[in-house]
Amino acid sequence: MKFELSATDGAARAGRLTTTNGVVETPIFMPVGTHAAVKALAPDDLSAAGAQIVLANTYHLFLRPGHDVVRELGGLHRFMGWDRAILTDSGGFQVWSLAKLRKITDAGVEFRSPVDGSTHFLSPEVAVEVQHALGADIIHPLDECLAYPASRADTERSLELTLRWAARSKAAHAGAGRSQAMFGIVQGGAEADLRRRAAAATVELGFDGYAVGGLAVGEPKPAMYDLTELVASLLPAGQPRYLMGVGKPEDLVRSVARGVDMFDCVLPTRNARNGQAFTADGPVTLKQARYLRDGAPLDPDCGCYACRGFSRAYLRHLFMAGELLAYRLLTLHNVTFFLRLAREMRAAIVAGGFASFQSRFFARYPVSGGAGEPGDARLSAAD
């Protein structure tokens, strides 16, 4: 994997990430493909939306259909029919947020599958082995993701565990050749000094890129932005930075301004299934009666199939009638919106106009709340 910075504008960066399966131009948003499918979308939809890389969840694929099945069928790219880049997380976040009866030791974590109640064990070594079987372009070490708030003592203990696991993960990946890149995950909770320690120790271990984990888990928004800015400032300039599980359109803009290159979030896909469409003027909630006879497209600025071919009235009708097509069309639109936002940010950075891009964005896009607003708990990782 190769990462080149094409341009910077303040802390904001435009880069090119060359993976085994294609180039990713950053900043980039990664649609979430929980079970090896971005919900309601096929690979042709993802290509049409401008997706360059998608995320798949190690935890979910480990449980179903099983990483051995995916390997036997030629790996994740072939399995899901997606020939561009794929990133897998380590499974850590889902073990903490979704699995039952977790028993955690230094060796790893034992948990029950919510699918069928069976017991599983995930260690740093197993998580790497699973991700080798899946074959994503970018993989991650098993980490512990603490809920917010957490005590100082718990945060310290957790960080040390994550760092020990990071070292073991790196060792487990060392013999595997270089077709898969591994990103380190910087934890440290809401404590600035622990975030500093986490960043330094993770960079010291040495990875192909760095993820910022444990944010968007309930902390106030200003803390999220401050910690993101702090961690980004401590990471090597020449490597990609990925803010896990973030976020809303305004979070993407503010985080790019703080030096983040990559994002993933279930927001565009999940909200689509709740009838919400993102536009430059803010979200449109289709169940509102005002759209019953609205012949305009969802977003006149958008060139996606949903906006080219259908009215708000029709999309609302499909949503109200529970028609599956509503979910595909709204998801396609939302993913297109997030990816266009990323492309527009990149263009602004390359042109040296990211500050004015931000002004234009926030002049139209309504952001609820402000400083001191409680953070949104991260939208659970099972989209």
Non-local (6+) Cβ contacts of 8 within 8 A are: 14, 349
Instruction: For strands 109-112 and 119-122, give the pairing.
Output: antiparallel
| Amino acid in the structure at residue 319 | F
CB of residue 316 to a second copy, shortest distance in Å: 8
Among 311, 343, 347, 360, binds a second copy (CB under 8 A): 311
Among 12, 32, 56, 80, binds a second copy (CB under 8 A): 80
Complex with a second copy: residue 45 or 261, whichever CB lies closer:
45
**Active-site annotation holds for 89:** yes
User: Contact between 329 and a second copy (CB under 8 A)?
Assistant: yes
Complex with a second copy: residue 20 or 311, whichever CB lies closer:
311
User: Contact between 62 and a second copy (CB under 8 A)?
Assistant: no
Site string for a second copy, 16-55 (x = CB under 8 A): -------------------xxx-xxxxxx-----------
Helices 354-364 and 324-350 sit at what angle, rounded to 10 degrees? 150
User: Contact between 327 and a second copy (CB under 8 A)?
Assistant: yes
- What one-character DSSP code corresponds to residue 73? T
CB of residue 41 to a second copy, shortest distance in Å: 7
Among 101, 153, 177, 324, binds a second copy (CB under 8 A): 324
CB 255 within 8 A of CB 247: yes
**Active-site annotation holds for 44:** no
The burial class, CB within 10 Å (0-12 / 13-18 / 19+), for 162 is buried
Non-local (6+) Cβ contacts of 50 within 8 A are: 336, 339, 340, 343
CB of residue 176 to a second copy, shortest distance in Å: 24
How far apart, in whole angstroms, are the C-alpha atoms of residue 313 and residue 286?
A: 8
How far apart, in whole angstroms, are the C-alpha atoms of residue 232 and residue 236?
A: 8
Binding site for a second copy (CB under 8 A): 35-37, 39-44, 60, 64-65, 69, 72-74, 79-81, 292-293, 295, 305, 309-311, 313-314, 316-318, 320-321, 323-325, 327-329
**What positions carry a catalytic annotation?**
89, 264
